[in-house]
Amino acid sequence: MARYLLKRILMMIVTLWIIVTLTFSLMHMIPGDPFASESDQLPEQILLNLRAKYHLDEPLPMQYLSYLKSLAMLDLGPSIKSETRGVNDMIKDGFGSSALIGMQAIAVALFFGLIFGIIAALNRNTWIDYMAMVMAVLGIAVPSFIMAPLLINYLAIKLPLFPVATLASWKHSVLPSLALAFGPLAIITRYMRTSMIEVMNQNYIRTAEAKGIPTFLIVVRHGIRNAILPVVTFLGPLVAGLLTGTFVVEKIFAVPGVGKYFVDGIFNRDYPVILGTTVFYSAILVLIIFLIDLAYMFIDPRIKLSGRGR
């Protein structure tokens, strides 16, 4: 086990290093310049001064090495666009809000997704199943940027239950969390339904039924535990994605999260921000995938984690 953990951690570091290297080279391949703007009456010398300030005048390999060096110290560097705030500040200030909304959305999606999926599977081909599936299809088909204004319009304007936007109190976080939750909720419902149907047709379930165990206990003890694995797999990227913020929902609800930096960074050619957000997201993704692999072991003891090939 210890050996496995060590190997996994090493792999995670290598993965991150590859991501940093790829991002670094791709980013410098896009045309455009962080200092270009409509209003650049910039004399040559000022541009040179600027490039020197952000070490953009050094050869790329040098820039790459010094970035790796500061990254090892967990310093993501300055932002070119924001003179006074570094990438660390941006992530530190924004991650809390993003994570709050993200966790609430995951909780809602997981809770209702699982319940709807199970109910649909147990009532297969009845009106309940059809209704759950219609909802699931809607949830997948209606993007969050449609869902969000709808929620605002009905739950904040027409029926003033919640504030329109910003994140001043917990009450403000309800609508963005809901808007974020719908998509994943629908996907989880579908996954859960499919895998539950499969599990419920297994021989051991029939055996349990024959033994006279109540349906509720069969579902809880034997059904869910086996059926949940595909959902857990899907949770990895989902959790990483939601925790690190989403551009659209955060923009619509004016949530001060990190989501916008992913997009703005590229738009502004703010190199340290592009790298910083990518590294941040990858680190969380890699970490969560690792945790989920560990979780498999607890959900299904048949899965053994080992460093060797199986």
Please, which of residues 45-74 interact with other proteins by CB under 8 A? 45-46, 49-50, 52-53
Q: To which residue do tokens 């974020």 refer?
A: 180
Query: Of the candidates 6, 13, 14, 33, which one interacts with other proteins according to CB under 8 A?
Result: 33
Task: Take residue 181 and report the two structure tokens written for it.
Answer: 């939750």
96 binds other proteins (CB under 8 A): yes
Number of residues that bind other proteins (CB under 8 A): 74
103 binds other proteins (CB under 8 A): yes
- Number of Cβ atoms within 10 Å of the Cβ of 119: 17
Cα separation, 138 vs 222, whole angstroms: 30
Residues contacting 103, CB < 8 A, separation 6+: 242, 243
Query: Of the candidates 67, 112, 280, 281, which one interacts with other proteins according to CB under 8 A?
Result: 112
In one-letter notation, the amino acid at residue 111 is F
Query: Of the candidates 29, 72, 84, 308, which one interacts with other proteins according to CB under 8 A?
Result: 84
**Using CB under 8 A, which residues numbered 255 to 294 contact other proteins?**
256-257, 260, 267-269
Residue 136-155 contact track with other proteins, rule CB under 8 A, x = bound: -------------x--xx--
CB of 164 or CB of 292, closer to other proteins: 164
Q: How far is the CB of 108 from other proteins (least distance, A)?
A: 5
In one-letter notation, the amino acid at residue 254 is A
Residue 183 CA neighbour count, 13 Å, CB half: 21
CB of 98 or CB of 246, closer to other proteins: 98
Phi and psi, residue 306, nearest 5°: -150, 155
**Using CB under 8 A, which residues numbered 214 to 253 contact other proteins?**
243, 251-253
Return the SS3 of 17.
helix
Write the DSSP assignment of 85-124 as a string of letters. -BHHHHHHHHHHHHHHHHHHHHHHHHHHHHHHHHHHHHTT
Query: Of the candidates 170, 203, 309, 310, which one interacts with other proteins according to CB under 8 A?
Result: 170
Cα separation, 183 vs 142, whole angstroms: 8
Q: How far is the CB of 153 from other proteins (least distance, A)?
A: 8
Q: How far is the CB of 42 from other proteins (least distance, A)?
A: 6
Q: How far is the CB of 260 from other proteins (least distance, A)?
A: 7
Cα separation, 304 vs 200, whole angstroms: 24
Candidates 68-76, 87-95, 212-220, 277-285: pick the segment binding other proteins (CB under 8 A).
87-95
CB of 153 within 8 A of CB of 254?
no
Candidates 12-20, 61-69, 95-103, 286-294: pick the segment binding other proteins (CB under 8 A).
95-103
